[in-house]
Amino acid sequence: MKNPLISQLERRDTLSPEERSALEGAISKVKEFAPDEDLVRDGERVNQSNLILEGFACRYKVLGDGRRQITAFHLAGDFVDLHSFLLKKMDHGVAALTRCRVAFFPHEKLREISERYPHLTRLMWLLTLIDASAHREWITGMGRRSAEGRLAHLFCEMYLRLDVAGLTDGLTFPFPITQHELGDALGLSVVHTNRLLGRLRKLHLATFLSNKVKIENWEGLKELAEFDPTYLHLNSEPR
């Protein structure tokens, strides 16, 4: 089975055989995490970064009174905390949403790559930049989109990312989270999230049921979300 990180990178640029093997060689071990288990905890000092090989995870922050905000969702091929390579200390937690198979990249190995493979380094840097780009889109949504638009936008984003990773089934895709978590991502209460899902269903745009999203009307959903995939930077070019 192909390393999904390789595919993730090759979607954006070409990798040489040596670069591919350098990446493969940087994995120290592979571990499984149970649903709801933390891959990394907030505030922790870490010396490795985690790549998801299988499963879903999210990054989140918790405020004083326990209110939680999910800042990103991650799927196979995503380097959930590559930024810890240079930041050293986590400024948020990472939790498994489902059972996850995760590859560990010791920072020491990443450092070696950064010394020896400038192009590969740029590509890893790129991954963190795409992350940041998605963050900006998220911010824009939280600040200026309606709750409904935000939900639609999230569905559009997840559909596209999963599709590119070959994890969709027609217009249906897995999204294994609870409505509570969905609310935590959108900055909404569970109750309101539930009502919004009902509305999307009634508008025949999308249905969310038993951990799957089925898009009924892609164009309509995109329009409601004002979805423009540019921010995902899915094109390949020399970097």
Partner DNA sequence: CGAGGTCTTGAAGACGATCAACAAACGTGG
Partner DNA sequence: CCACGTTTGTTGATCGTCTTCAAGACCTCG
Of 128, 156, 114, 117, nearest to 17 (Cα)?
117
Query: Considering only residues 135, 192, 214, 233, which one is a binding residue for DNA as defined by CB under 7 A?
Result: 192
If binding means CB under 8 A, how many residues of this protein chain bind its own copies?
48
Q: How far apart are CA 110 and CA 49, in angstroms?
A: 9
Q: Which is nearer to DNA, 28 or 146 (CB)?
A: 146
Q: Which of the stretches 82-90, 121-129, 195-203, 219-227 binds DNA when contact is defined by CB under 7 A?
A: 195-203
Q: Scanning the structure block, which residue is given the tokens 């949403």?
A: 97
Three-state DSSP state, 6: helix
Q: From the list DNA, its own copies, none, which binds 56 (C-beta under 5 to 8 Å, kind-based)?
A: none
Smallest separation, CB 194 to DNA (Å) = 4
Q: Which of the stretches 24-32, 94-102, 120-128, 198-206 binds its own copies when contact is defined by CB under 8 A?
A: 120-128
Residue 68 in contact with residue 184, Cβ under 8 Å? Answer: yes
Q: Which is nearer to DNA, 123 or 186 (CB)?
A: 186
Taking the CB of residue 86, how many other CB atoms lie within 10 A of it?
12
Q: Scanning the structure block, which residue is given the tokens 């933390």?
A: 38
Q: Which residues pair with 52 in a beta bridge?
A: 102
Q: From the list DNA, its own copies, none, which binds 97 (C-beta under 5 to 8 Å, kind-based)?
A: none
Of 49, 30, 45, 29, nearest to 111 (Cα)?
49
Element spanning 151, H or E: helix 147-164
Q: What angle do CA 65, 70, 76 make, to 5 degrees?
A: 150
Taking the CB of residue 114, how many other CB atoms lie within 10 A of it?
17
Of 198, 216, 196, nearest to 206 (Cα)?
216
Query: Considering only residues 46, 130, 190, 232, which one is a binding residue for DNA as defined by CB under 7 A?
Result: 190
Q: Which is nearer to DNA, 70 or 197 (CB)?
A: 197
Q: Does 237 bind its own copies (CB under 8 A)?
A: yes
Q: Does 195 bind its own copies (CB under 8 A)?
A: no
Q: From the list its own copies, DNA, none, which binds 30 (C-beta under 5 to 8 Å, kind-based)?
A: none
Q: How far apart are CA 133 and CA 127, in angstroms?
A: 10
Q: From the list DNA, its own copies, none, which binds 210 (C-beta under 5 to 8 Å, kind-based)?
A: DNA
Q: Which of the stretches 46-54, 97-105, 140-148, 211-219 binds its own copies when contact is defined by CB under 8 A?
A: 140-148
Residues that bind its own copies in the complex, under the rule CB under 8 A: 43, 59, 61, 63-64, 67-69, 71, 83, 86-89, 91-92, 114-115, 118, 121-122, 125-126, 128-133, 135-140, 142-145, 184, 186-187, 226, 230-231, 233, 237, 239
